[in-house]
Amino acid sequence: MGWRDYPAAPGAGTVLCELAAIPDGEGREFVFGNSVSGVRVLIVRRGDRAWGYVNRCPHNYIPLNDMPDRFVSFDHEWIVCSTHGAVFRYEDGFCEDGPCQGRNLEALPILVENAAIVVAD
């Protein structure tokens, strides 16, 4: 199931937050809908850039985080799955190491517009 298939998925133009609301090198989770029909997404930021992904590891299809907004390695270089330690690149969600090596997180198209993170088409 892709992110657009969830009834509660955010539409294009949805403002998620101000870029400055996510500390540089960190991530933040946004939940749309409920546990049945909802979708969890994560946004990671590096400088004035941000990337969005469905918060679901391609290994077991479970959320990447086990604590609120905890998605990245201590050195802020990788998105990390807290369950199995898989590591993903910020820039494209590609899994560099772990049980889902070679697979990608599902991208949520976003853009930074007027210092805000917005869902793109």
5-56 pLDDT, tens digit per residue, is: 888 889 999 999 999 999 999 999 999 988 777 899 999 999 999 999 999 9
Domain harbouring 90, CATH code: 2.102.10.10
* pLDDT of 71 over the 80 cut: yes
Task: Give the mean pLDDT of 104-116.
Answer: 96
> Model's pTM, two decimal places?
0.93
Number of domains, the chain: 1
Nearby residues of 19 by Cβ (< 8 Å), 6 or more positions away: 45, 48, 50, 112, 115, 116, 117
Residue 37 burial by Cβ neighbours in a 10 Å radius (0-12, 13-18, 19+):
exposed
With the CA atoms of 117, 55, 28 and 120 taken in that order, what torsion angle do they form, in degrees rounded to the nearest 10? 0
pLDDT at 2: 77
| CB 8, CB 34: distance < 8 Å | yes
Question: Structural domain of residue 68, as residue ranges?
Answer: 3-119
pLDDT at 72: 95
